[in-house]
């Protein structure tokens, strides 16, 4: 059986959401980030990204990872694309061109959006420094968000005019910037796409489980 390693409060949300969309059975191994623990090496500490048993799975000590009947894979974007291609039906690519586009959009989000979006999420917006951080990050997101707005003016989803793993990967990165409402208020097509994705039952189920985990 497929094993997914990683807590919901991590990038594991991407393959966990996708598994829910597919209805794919899996064993969830809730490996927590070591930095969230007072002492990850203490006796009785939960399995974490520094635990020897997890480092045997992923020597880099990052989550998520999967073990699909002996095939071990790391990096959330790659995991989501792999699961969609193998098990996902319409969530996966129908041909090599669609596969390339799914990879393209996933990498676009990782390289052009994620860093600045995380800056918005982590900023202390009630401080002058935090406000400056948000403003700078929002400026960096103008061009990639404009690209998405242009795309969604023509089609409801990223690839093949249907919901796919690419939408999961990109929506879960765009989510980090939701704290800066102006980026979405000025881009109604982008906002509508994000709402379409996150209103799906599998996302709502994943998000409820995420919220049930300790912050």
* Contact in structure between 27 and 1 (CB atoms under 8 Å): yes
Q: How many CB atoms lie within 10 A of CB 14?
A: 27
- pLDDT, residue 152, reads 98
* pTM score, whole prediction: 0.96
Residues 86, 75 contacting (CB under 8 angstroms): no
pLDDT of residue 141: 98
Q: What is the pLDDT of residues 168-193, one digit of tens each?
A: 999 999 999 999 999 999 999 999 99
| Local structure of residue 158 (DSSP, 8 states) | S
Question: Which helix (H) or strand (E) segment is 28 a member of?
Answer: strand 27-29
Query: Which whole number is the average pLDDT over 140-166?
Result: 98
**CATH code at 93-200:** 1.20.1050.10
Q: pLDDT, tens digit, for every residue of 105-139?
A: 999 999 999 999 999 999 887 898 988 999 999 99
What is the per-residue pLDDT across 9-30, written as a single tens digit (0 to 9) for each? 999 999 999 999 999 999 999 9
Q: Which fold would CATH assign to domain 2-90+203-212?
A: Glutaredoxin (3.40.30)
Q: Is 154 helix (H, G, I), strand (E, B) or coil?
A: coil
C-alpha 56/C-alpha 112 separation (Å) is: 32
- Give every CB contact of residue 121 below 8 A, 6+ residues apart in sequence: 176, 177, 179
- Domain residue ranges in the chain: 2-90+203-212, 93-200
Q: Taking each helix axis from N to C terminus, what angle separates 201-212 and 188-198, rounded to the nearest 10 degrees?
A: 80
Closest to 198 in 3D by CA, of 11, 15, 17, 25 = 17
Q: 212, 165, 184, 183: which is closest to 16 by C-alpha? A: 165
The predicted pLDDT at position 195 comes to 98
pLDDT, position 125: 77
Note the pLDDT tens digit of each residue in 28-69. Answer: 999 999 999 999 999 999 999 999 999 999 999 999 999 999
Percent of the chain with pLDDT over 90: 96
CA 167 vs. chain centroid, Å, equals: 10
């Amino acid at each position: 059986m497929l094993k997914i390693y990683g807590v919901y409060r991590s990038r594991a949300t991407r393959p966990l959401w996708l598994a829910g969309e597919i209805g794919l059975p899996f064993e969830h191994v809730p490996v927590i980030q070591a930095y969230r623990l007072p002492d990850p090496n203490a006796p009785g500490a939960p399995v974490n990204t520094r635990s020897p048993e997890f480092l045997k799975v992923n020597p880099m000590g990052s989550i998520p990872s999967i073990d699909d009947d002996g095939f071990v894979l790391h990096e959330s974007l790659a995991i989501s694309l792999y699961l969609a291609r193998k098990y996902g039906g319409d969530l996966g690519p129908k041909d090599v061109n669609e596969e390339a586009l799914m990879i393209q959009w996933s990498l676009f989000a990782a390289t052009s959006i994620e860093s600045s979006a995380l800056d918005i999420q982590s900023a202390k917006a009630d401080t002058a420094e935090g406000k400056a951080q948000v403003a700078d990050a929002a400026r960096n997101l103008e061009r990639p968000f404009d690209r998405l707005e242009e795309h969604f003016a023509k089609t409801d989803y990223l690839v093949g005019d249907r919901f796919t793993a690419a939408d999961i990967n990109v929506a879960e990165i765009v989510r980090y910037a939701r704290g800066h409402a102006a980026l979405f208020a000025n881009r109604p097509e982008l906002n509508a796409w994000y709402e379409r994705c996150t209103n799906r039952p599998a996302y709502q189920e994943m998000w409820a489980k995420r919220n049930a985990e300790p912050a």
